[in-house]
Structure 1
Amino acid sequence: MRTPVNDYLEEVRETCIAEGDQGAVADYIPELARVDPDRFAVALCTIDGTVYSVGDDEHRFTIQSLSKPFVYALALADRGLDKVLEHVGVEPSGDAFNEISLEDSGRPRNPMINIGAITTHGLAGPEDATPEQSMARIVQGLSGFAGRTLEVDEAVFESERQTADRNMSLAYMARAQGMLEDDPRDAVDGYTRQCSLIVDVRDLAVMAMTLAGGGRNPITDEQVVPPWVCRQVLSVMATCGMYDAAGDWMSSVGIPAKSGVSGGVLGSLPGQIGIGAFSPRLDAFGNSVRAVRACERLSNDMGLHLMQVPEVASHVLYDVVAPDDQGDGTREVKLQGTMHFAAAEVALRELEGVPEDDAPVVLDLSRVSSANRVGRRMLLEGVRRLKLDGHEVRVEDPNTVLDD
């Protein structure tokens, strides 16, 4: 049996394409103005590091503002919460990403807008870090989140550097307010280089899942930052990550998220899933039109809204009975706990391992306490596909969790 998750993602992608091609690429950066506006990819990363992706998932692009939550995480891990809060606040600005948005104290309102991100850049690394050491720490740290070594796109870096006048003015403003420790030119160069790191949509999903998993990369098992850092970062992403569209995003999608002007969007749902989406056409807020559509669809279809009351999760698989144990070739898969998307996805992968022969399959749900709409649909689809593969399937469901 082949798990249906990729088929579903392809359906989401095709639906988003069919809704039209609104938006425009970020043409104020010369290198970004030359990108193919029709590229589109979606990826999911699960709690155990399984990555699903469709579309232009191997196409690489610069991370841009998607780097902000991860550099904020590094600054928190390196300097501590109190030190970072001395320089950058956590309040939503309600302003565009490149506005001069300061509190009365002169502190940038949050680390997700440019003036806050430029300030945060210099807080990565130890107290006495040089600009080069801060940048090295950022490359190392973001590579840890992605699970592979990231590199800078030098052409995009130079292109952005030549058009960084506004960011330079923001840096001087932060310096004048006593919030920026670095020389403004070094801060803007470092921030621009940070934004020029190259990723693909699968990287975004893994990075998002690392945040959602308490700082542990699900593929490498590296603890990139402490769990408390992830809680802080996700909280700020939830209220500030989508700029002046953050309120609409949180009410309609309900997943802590961040966007970037290259066309990427990532969503990080604590304990469940990391989402990456990419399409270069942007709306008036600087968010990818298609990527936002895809995240809306995923949230609505899979019940991923943060404010939706969750089922209590527990372990999924507790036993698989091999054919020889039954004596008649029957394979038995026993599940337990609560079936939501994350749990049902693991169960589907267990069913995916059933060989394509005509041996009977027993799906034992006697220890499954409940299933939400998504978990129920996924398990029923798994049963349907097993039958299409030629298996006789018997479902033991004494708690009627698969009934509507």
Structure 2
Amino acid sequence: MKMPIPDYLQEILDHVRDEDGGEVADYIPELAEADPDRLAIALCTASGHVYEAGPDADVEYTIQSISKPFVFALALQELGPEAVLDVVGLEPSGEAFNELSLDDNDKRPVNPMINAGAIAVNQLINGEDSSVEDRVEKIRDLFSRLAGRELHIDAELSASELEGADRNLSIAHMLRSYDIIKDDAHDAVLSYTHQCSTLVTTRDLSVMSATLANGGTQPVTGERILSAEACRLTLAVMSSAGMYDGAGRWMAGVGIPAKSGVAGGLIGTLPGQLGIATFSPRLDTQGNSVRGVKIFEYLSRDMGLHLMSSDQHSVPGVRSITRDGDQTIIRLQGTINFTAAENILHQLTTHNLGGEELVLDVSRVTSFNRMGRRMVKEGLRLLREGGFECAIYDPEGVVTDLEFSDGTTADTVDSF
């Protein structure tokens, strides 16, 4: 059976494709030359299933500030929260990402998602006495393991960024003046710039963010990379500061811990469920992808992904799949949201379904949200197109709309 999720993701891209607001990041020469029409989305579940849409899903671009949460998580794992929080705070800044600002009381950067905090955290990796080369390699290796493939650094773009790095150099000198970092200011900015110049794809970013959602276990390779504690604290900071001075509005409206990058990438993470990544280079005045923000707004509303929504339940979806002669009975249970529906459809694609008739038993389902209902119905339609006679056992009437997207309806049975 063909999974309907890529088609749904393509629908979202079509929905935002004509949005042409914003501009590419013109203060970095290579980014100024980016194709503004690039567009892609990828989604990775905590169970390791990756879905993508858009011809640009495998186009490489630099990770930029999306690197910040992953390096923060690495620092937490290497040194522990207490040592990391000695050099960086956890509070939203309410200021631009490159503001020359420190906490008025203790002179620490206020959080690790702004440049001052990210440069300070970068200097913790591999120890304060590490060379730039060893520190950068430690970070590049982390990113590669998170993505599940070998990643590389765009040296040309990194050199270009360094030529215009006066702001970050000023930040580094400020950090040195308060003994927040020990390294030479130029070396600190060099290390941080290499971090931001790592090349990734939208698919890579979805898997990397899903690793945070999965408590540090890479969902595709199964490798334990980060601790659950490091991921929890990282997601907490993303939820409050990942979208800079727009973080409050973002969490109220979208409700997904997120981080943006000026190359046009944007990630979001739902704890225990999935990682999402989008790519579209046009940025708004805050440095966030215009179409990426629209996509996340659409996903949050349509799929019920808002972190504070009552739809947020982690349920298996499938109770059992049994065979009785020519009839296969698929019993569902619990609340069927996107995560449960994806699990249901994935089990149906991998299960050796036999016979001629399929009955979907929803008698133990407490409710369907809109996306869960749509995905399960589309799965039934595709199975029917594959030659099965499909029916639903729904004694409580939890599936209120049985019409498929092609205008036909599903049969119902009173018993089986």
Query: TM-score of the superposition, structure 2-length normalised?
Result: 0.92
Does residue 382 of structure 2 align to residue 381 of structure 1? no
d(CA) in 2 for partners of 1:168, 1:189: 9
d(CA) in 2 for partners of 1:285, 1:75: 27
Does residue 347 of structure 2 align to residue 350 of structure 1? yes
Aligned residue for 1:97? 97
Is the 8 Å Cα contact of residues 302 and 370 (structure 2) preserved in structure 1?
no
Aligned residue for 1:301? 302
Is the 8 Å Cα contact of residues 345 and 379 (structure 2) preserved in structure 1?
yes
Is the 8 Å Cα contact of residues 328 and 355 (structure 2) preserved in structure 1?
no
For residue 317 of structure 2, what is the amino acid of its counterpart?
Answer: V
3-state DSSP class of the match of 1:181? coil
Is the 8 Å Cα contact of residues 325 and 355 (structure 2) preserved in structure 1?
no
Does residue 34 of structure 2 align to residue 38 of structure 1? no
3-state DSSP class of the match of 1:86? coil
Is the 8 Å Cα contact of residues 43 and 52 (structure 1) preserved in structure 2?
yes
Is the 8 Å Cα contact of residues 42 and 54 (structure 1) preserved in structure 2?
yes
Does residue 362 of structure 2 align to residue 365 of structure 1? yes
Is the 8 Å Cα contact of residues 217 and 223 (structure 1) preserved in structure 2?
yes
d(CA) in 2 for partners of 1:128, 1:191: 15
Is the 8 Å Cα contact of residues 369 and 399 (structure 1) preserved in structure 2?
no
3-state DSSP class of the match of 1:268? strand
d(CA) in 1 for partners of 2:159, 2:12: 36
Bigger drift between 26-35 and 381-390 goes to: 381-390
Aligned residue for 1:207? 208
Bigger drift between 46-55 and 343-352 goes to: 343-352
d(CA) in 1 for partners of 2:313, 2:166: 50
Task: For residues 274-314 of structure 1, give each alpha carbon's deviation from its aligned partner in whole angstroms, at most 9, with x where no partner exists.
Answer: 10000111100000111111111001100100111245433
Aligned residue for 1:4? 4
Is the 8 Å Cα contact of residues 272 and 342 (structure 1) preserved in structure 2?
yes
Aligned residue for 2:59? 59
Is the 8 Å Cα contact of residues 132 and 190 (structure 2) preserved in structure 1?
no
Q: Which runs of 5 or more residues in structure 2 are unaligned?
A: 402-416
d(CA) in 1 for partners of 2:165, 2:257: 28
Percent same amino acid at aligned positions? 51
Aligned residue for 1:76? 76
User: What does 1:214-225 align with in structure 2 at a 5 Å threshold?
Assistant: 214-225=215-226
d(CA) in 2 for partners of 1:355, 1:338: 25
Aligned residue for 1:129? 130
Aligned residue for 1:47? 46
Does residue 136 of structure 2 align to residue 144 of structure 1? no
Query: TM-score of the superposition, structure 1-length normalised?
Result: 0.94
d(CA) in 1 for partners of 2:97, 2:261: 10
For residue 272 of structure 1, what is the amino acid of its counterpart?
Answer: Q
d(CA) in 2 for partners of 1:127, 1:79: 11
Is the 8 Å Cα contact of residues 121 and 191 (structure 1) preserved in structure 2?
yes
Is the 8 Å Cα contact of residues 39 and 278 (structure 2) preserved in structure 1?
yes
Does residue 396 of structure 2 align to residue 393 of structure 1? no
d(CA) in 1 for partners of 2:129, 2:183: 11
d(CA) in 2 for partners of 1:313, 1:174: 43
For residue 227 of structure 1, what is the amino acid of its counterpart?
Answer: A
Task: For residues 85-120 of structure 1, give each alpha carbon's deviation from its aligned partner in whole angstroms, at most 9, with x where no partner exists.
Answer: 110111111111111121012111111111111111
4+ residue runs over 6 A deviation: 354-358
Aligned residue for 1:276? 277
3-state DSSP class of the match of 1:309? coil
Aligned residue for 1:326? 324
d(CA) in 1 for partners of 2:252, 2:124: 32
d(CA) in 1 for partners of 2:258, 2:186: 29
For residue 217 of structure 1, what is the amino acid of its counterpart?
Answer: Q
**Coordinate RMSD, CA, aligned:** 1.8
The count of aligned residue pairs is 399
For residue 77 of structure 2, what is the amino acid of its counterpart?
Answer: A
d(CA) in 2 for partners of 1:52, 1:107: 40
d(CA) in 2 for partners of 1:76, 1:131: 20
Is the 8 Å Cα contact of residues 358 and 392 (structure 1) preserved in structure 2?
no
Aligned residue for 1:27? 26
d(CA) in 2 for partners of 1:312, 1:27: 42
In the TM superposition, residue 183 of structure 1 has moved relative to its aligned partner by: 1.6
d(CA) in 1 for partners of 2:314, 2:162: 47
Aligned residue for 1:155? 156
Is the 8 Å Cα contact of residues 358 and 389 (structure 2) preserved in structure 1?
yes
- Cα distance change on mapping 1:183 and 1:199 into 2, 3 Å: same
d(CA) in 2 for partners of 1:399, 1:70: 46
d(CA) in 2 for partners of 1:311, 1:356: 30
In the TM superposition, residue 254 of structure 1 has moved relative to its aligned partner by: 0.6
For residue 48 of structure 1, what is the amino acid of its counterpart?
Answer: S
In the TM superposition, residue 182 of structure 1 has moved relative to its aligned partner by: 1.8
d(CA) in 2 for partners of 1:160, 1:268: 28
Q: Which runs of 5 or more residues in structure 1 are unaligned?
A: none
Aligned residue for 1:16? 16
For residue 139 of structure 1, what is the amino acid of its counterpart?
Answer: R
